[in-house]
Amino acid sequence: MPQEEPVVIALDELQSVLERILEHIKVTRGVSCITLDANYYWNMRYENTFNMSKSIDVSDINVGSLYDDWETVRRFVLIENQPLSVNLAMISALLRYVGETIADLTSAEGG
């Protein structure tokens, strides 16, 4: 794959994008909560996730837990008021689940 120029993402802009997407889902779909009907997901080691020149070995893949991710993020951010940057990695799996679940609901409703 060709080397590409890095893209700089302003955290304020990323925050605005996430807030607008979540607000859009609440307003247009009437969705204010999501049930986690699945728990476990395939997770790849970070150092291999973005390295397209490396072959993936089964040892590079492990199992993550949406339930554990949610409880950990919720505890650190909302209860203990100690947000950690690593919580973003946990949020990424949760956001993917939410996005895919809402996309499935939308397509089942015809759009």
Q: Which domain holds residue 96?
A: 35-108
Q: Confirm whether 15 is domain-assigned.
A: no
Among 15, 38, 18, smallest CA distance to 26 is for 18
Q: Confirm whether 90 is domain-assigned.
A: yes
Rounded Cα distance, 17 and 6, in Å: 19
pLDDT at 110: 57
pLDDT at 35: 95
Residue 63 predicted with pLDDT over 90: yes
Residue 34 and residue 98 in contact, taking contact as beta carbons nearer than 8 Å: yes
Residue 75 gets which letter from DSSP? I
Residue 54 predicted with pLDDT over 90: no
- The rounded radius of gyration (Å) of the Cα atoms in the chain is 17
**Structural domain count, the chain:** 1
Q: Confirm whether 25 is domain-assigned.
A: no
Q: Confirm whether 21 is domain-assigned.
A: no
Residue 111 predicted with pLDDT over 90: no
Rounded average pLDDT over 7-17: 97
The pLDDT-based confidence of 4 (bands split at 50, 70, 90) is confident
For the entire predicted model, the pTM comes to 0.84
- The beta strand positions in the chain, using DSSP E, are 40-44, 61-65
Residue 34 and residue 93 in contact, taking contact as beta carbons nearer than 8 Å: no
Tens of pLDDT, residue by residue over 95-108, are 999 999 999 887 77
